[in-house]
A and B are shown apart, each in its own frame.
Chain A
Amino acid sequence: ETGVTQSPTHLIKTRGQQVTLRCSSQSGHNTVSWYQQALGQGPQFIFQYYREEENGRGNFPPRFSGLQFPNYSSELNVNALELDDSALYLCASSGQRGGATINEQFFGPGTRLTVL
């Protein structure tokens, strides 16, 4: 158990719909990162939130957006879903100092999204 929780565990949507995934970080961690893992691939970095601001982003289009709340929990929103968005979505929490992540990341169990 890492102390990082995600909901829901599974989700089925149709193309064009919107989805919101949720993550609660480990106690004491103020940074949340989101990853997309397609079948047979390594996780790909989507973005990171620190103190409710996005402070790093991977190569994902703007229809992938997020939020971080004062309690450091986070949401990932994906608009206009496409078939290729089907994947395991992972969030990770970690600590921060001076705006840089210096601690190891701890991952939640993931949300498996299927887009039909």
Chain B
Amino acid sequence: NAGVTQTPKFQVLKTGQSMTLQCAQDMNHEYMSWYRQDPGMGLRLIHYSVGAGITDQGEVPNGYNVSRSTTEDFPLRLLSAAPSQTSVYFCASSYERGRGTEAFFGQGTRLTVV
């Protein structure tokens, strides 16, 4: 049981480049989300999804797009990378909708935009 798998682990982008961070879970969780972690800022929610075909914005959605075509996958797209998007990105998933429950996190993607 792999849990939540994120790829890549590290990435360096040039300003203006685009890329997709991959996230996959094998626990049949309905709820998936993307966070960014910056020093002193904690974990801030970028986008989330409550099921295939349903996504919504979190606290800091600008510059990012998501889609959820399957239950397992929830990719995060950076359309035109900016240095302000340098961060560590975490994908998380959880089972129950409508009620708080444990979130399972991936190992993170460390992104540097130069």
Q: Is B truly associated with A?
A: no
A-contacting residues of B (Cβ < 8 Å)? none
